[in-house]
Structure 1
């Protein structure tokens, strides 16, 4: 029974990882596609490859998700909690994808795990939630906005005498590098979250110890699922990020991607914090737009996005709690 539940949770986790890939594909490449630095298919292929590589660059975020958010009981009951949390995250991913809203798959996952754990009266590590989730959730958009604005101001000053045509061509080439860096950071952050959940299922099911290293097959499976999802593309959200917030030019796209990638690397490697790539790149796009003029940013669209951010954790937690009750009724 427990082996079947472990396999079922792993399958659900990889489905979540796939939805994370196509939901968040826009994070890495929307700016490059909108400025015509890359064709859509070339951008998706590059993003998928860099996601796969990024997933192999560390396990700090995976350790946070696997050990620092909830502490489900061992056995089938704990596996039901983890599986219900994943269903909550997948449901919110699909809802926001349908409406083209760039919400956070990371926070959907964390909210789902918290919701199912609370429904089951399992332990939630509130200190870990505050220090590793809530604080980075607040700081990463602020840092992304400010850093992108600073990079954009520096670009304006350094290239103030450059001819627009040659400068834009140069930044289109530079965007190939910055988009690759963004995709690498996405793999470093988001694929690790699925690794952490799979590892949590293995521990709860008795197939791994809490202090064991994350198995290589888990890393490969998570990397492959998010890469395939990324290549499938997320065109609805890509239009929102690439055009609806602000009509980006190549220098702005380069500044936004460079700033967002820097924040992702710093959070993952320096703090093991599972921050949202969606929050980071969206706030960076707003930051570069605001340096031109505040009215350049479509604040109505931005407001809808921020509302989705606020609703992500409670909405996914609610779905996960209801799913837990359903699973508990069917399986136990």
Structure 2
């Protein structure tokens, strides 16, 4: 009888798991029929159609990216090997010369696409990846709206600073859709080298969180401090053409510094307001890893403002952009949290309005 009871119990658990799996599948399916998700789909369709069919001739960097595809050297890797003095130096150069981006360019060229079409395809792909990643947040429509409205988002890295946006979209797609944040961060780093900074924070968070979140936060903040102090040497050693192309006097105001400090509240809330008994769920762990990476990134930007501002300019757009993933993940548990979120959104609204007056969103209007 006892054996029969155990057998029945196991069968019951198995049936329950199957039913639970079925209900989860249905809930995911019904999720796309909610008004907010229909709004998400409509906005995604509008964005993709606009960037696929719109006139890109007047966009900044358009000519540079057309030149990337037109002048791509199929033997680039051979020339890089011949100019390297060692295997280690060759590996370093493949990263600093953005191997992933070059392979993407050569891949599209091999399909016979014209440079203009190749650029357009790249922009569409990066926005598709971003939309897919945002669809996995707790509030996808809010995330997509933030991506579309944050000045450094769709209107900048999603439109004409393509390598930066492509790197970010790859990282977020692998993190949110495939729950492989480390792989995504590494791939993003060889598409655009500056993602190596957030990639390091993410990898540290990934491994240190196995001990505790507190240790992960301390480790990431410590890494941010060390990297801020080392930025001058890193850019002098590996910056290459970037030191010649960009001015070291680009605008980074105290007001923006204050905004970054306030944005720090968002990833902290994501971590603090976690749901009980859910830490074992992979998705929640990934979200917390991204939140800790965001903390490290903002701390790096704040410290670098005082230590080496030029290093800050190269990755400053990641600070506000990650809000598109972090704000939708905050659990509104009480009115205080709601007011804090409203305050952060008010800061973003001010920045959006200021950039609207500067015609930042002209392409979409």
Shared fold, TM over 0.5 = no
- Between 1 and 2, higher relative CO (CA 8 Å, sep ≥ 6) is seen in 1
Specify which structure has the higher proportion of helix: 1
Structure index of larger Rg: 2
